[in-house]
């Protein structure tokens, strides 16, 4: 992998990740951009203790641009975009409309491919390995920033999820605090350690592997399963069999096997509702250990992949119980979801 750092016209950093070591990236951003001015503020909810990012400037962000005006496509034929090059493998750049910035963290965009009409599931294993390398590199770089406590790599796909740009891409949030969901996981892991003397994540992976009913895919270095208490209609948790705190700690064997495993899971998501259905909307989220809090050593890196689609043509909306009280009601039995995802395997 070759990494090339450059700057956009407004001063934001842009990074090219190329599979070829001889790739040359000398294109210059010729747009007349003014420096980014963000108005991010972190406020603390006094009842729940949650941190909330107030980012009113995001109201002006690009929303579903017309065909031919995608800001994530390469700059070609006189049309200038966020990526100055005429083609690229993988690109990461600072978000022009960040939810977090400066001393309050950082937000980045990850373009998985220059092909506007592709999806992640269309990528080959070499390209997927390059994306994994970019996620890992960004985790390492952002971890070195003094204001960053946790790095979150994720992808939203589908207008049903709320995606504003159709180009295959994801995002990376570098939070200046430990997120509420991660803090809850750390609390549960600590309680389990006190009560049993064992690691909670290890016990979950061991239980799912032994029972097998909810396992979707098992390989030498990864285990994918529908969780026992799944929140979403179709939800997969993917764990490396050797527990590590974050992407930086994955060994070579797990890295080599990941592309095939992940692509297979994404393709099953697109097949599970049957032929003729539109692409499945989903969120794919890497859960990594925070960098400083007690309990980091007990945390387990894992990926959570889920969709809000519950049947063909029907979506799972977060209504009163979920949105008002954070109590999820799942209409699909986790064991049934796992069986259907196994049946959707590539032949």
pLDDT in tens, 115-169: 999 999 999 999 999 999 999 999 999 999 999 999 999 999 999 998 989 999 9
Which CATH class for the 2-177 domain?
A: alpha beta
| Percent with pLDDT over 70 in the chain | 100
What pLDDT, on a 0 to 100 scale, did the predictor assign at position 63?
Answer: 66
Return all residues near 124 (Cβ < 8 A) that are at least 6 apart.
Answer: none
Average pLDDT over residues 83-109: 96
> What confidence tens digit (pLDDT) does each residue in 175-185 have?
999 999 999 99
Q: What is the CATH number of domain 181-343?
A: 3.30.428.10
Is residue 64's pLDDT more than 80? Answer: no
Q: Residues of the chain with pLDDT > 90: what percent?
A: 89
Which residues fall in the annotated binding site? 70, 73, 116, 167
| pLDDT-wise least confident of 33-47, 68-82, 133-147, 283-297 | 33-47
Per CATH, 2-177 and 181-343 having the same topology is answered yes
Containing 111, the helix (H) or strand (E) segment is strand 106-111
pLDDT (0 to 100) of residue 17: 98
| Domain-wise residue ranges, the chain | 2-177, 181-343
Q: Which residue has the higher pLDDT, 289 or 36?
A: 289
- Residue numbers belonging to the annotated binding site for Zn(2+): 70, 73, 116, 167
What are the pLDDT digits (tens) for 305-335? 999 999 998 999 999 999 999 999 999 999 9
pLDDT tens digit string along 186-240? 999 999 999 999 999 999 999 999 999 999 999 999 999 999 999 999 999 999 9
Q: Is 287 a catalytic residue?
A: no
Q: Which among 269, 293, 286 has a CA at the least distance from the CA of 345?
A: 269
Residues 251, 151, 243, 127: is their CA dihedral positive or negative?
Answer: negative
Whole-angstrom distance, CA of residue 216 vs CA of residue 343: 9
- The active-site residue out of 57, 169, 221, 292 is 169
User: Is pLDDT at 59 greater than 80 in this prediction?
Assistant: no
pTM of the model: 0.96
pLDDT of residue 347: 72
Distance, CA of 75 to chain centre: 25
Give the model's pLDDT for residue 49: 92
Whole-Å CA distances, 44 to 48, 52, 124, 275 = 8, 6, 43, 46
């Amino acid at each position: 992998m070759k990494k090339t750092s450059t700057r956009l016209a407004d001063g934001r950093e842009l990074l090219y990740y190329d599979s070829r070591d001889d790739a040359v990236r000398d294109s210059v951003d010729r747009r007349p951009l003014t420096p980014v001015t963000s108005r991010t503020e972190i406020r603390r909810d006094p009842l729940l203790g949650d941190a909330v990012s107030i980012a009113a400037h995001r109201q002006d962000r690009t929303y579903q641009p017309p065909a031919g005006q995608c800001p994530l496509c390469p700059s070609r034929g006189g049309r200038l975009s966020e990526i100055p090059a005429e083609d690229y493998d993988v690109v990461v750049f600072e978000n022009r409309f960040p939810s977090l910035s400066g001393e309050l963290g950082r937000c980045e965009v990850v373009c998985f491919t220059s092909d506007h009409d592709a999806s992640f599931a269309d990528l080959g294993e070499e390209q997927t390995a390059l994306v994994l390398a970019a996620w890992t590199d960004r985790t390492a770089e952002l971890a070195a920033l003094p204001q960053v406590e946790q790095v979150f790599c994720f992808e939203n796909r589908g207008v049903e999820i709320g995606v504003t740009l159709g180009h295959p891409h994801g995002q990376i949030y570098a939070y200046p605090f430990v997120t509420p969901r991660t803090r809850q996981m750390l609390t549960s892991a600590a309680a389990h350690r006190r009560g049993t003397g064992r690691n909670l994540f290890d016990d979950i992976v061991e239980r799912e592997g032994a029972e097998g009913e909810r396992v979707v895919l098992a390989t030498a270095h990864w285990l994918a399963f529908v969780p026992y208490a799944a929140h979403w209609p179709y939800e997969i948790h993917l764990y490396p069999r050797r527990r590590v705190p974050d992407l930086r700690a994955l060994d070579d064997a797990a890295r080599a096997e990941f592309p095939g495993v992940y692509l297979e899971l994404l393709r099953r998501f697109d097949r599970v509702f049957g032929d003729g259905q539109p692409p499945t909307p989903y969120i794919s989220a890497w859960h990594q250990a925070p960098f400083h809090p007690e309990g980091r050593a007990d945390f387990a890196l894992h990926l959570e992949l889920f969709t809000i689609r519950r049947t063909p043509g029907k979506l799972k909306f977060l209504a009163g119980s979920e949105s008002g009280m954070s109590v999820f009601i799942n209409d699909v039995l986790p064991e049934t979801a796992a069986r259907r995802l196994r049946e959707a395997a590539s032949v």
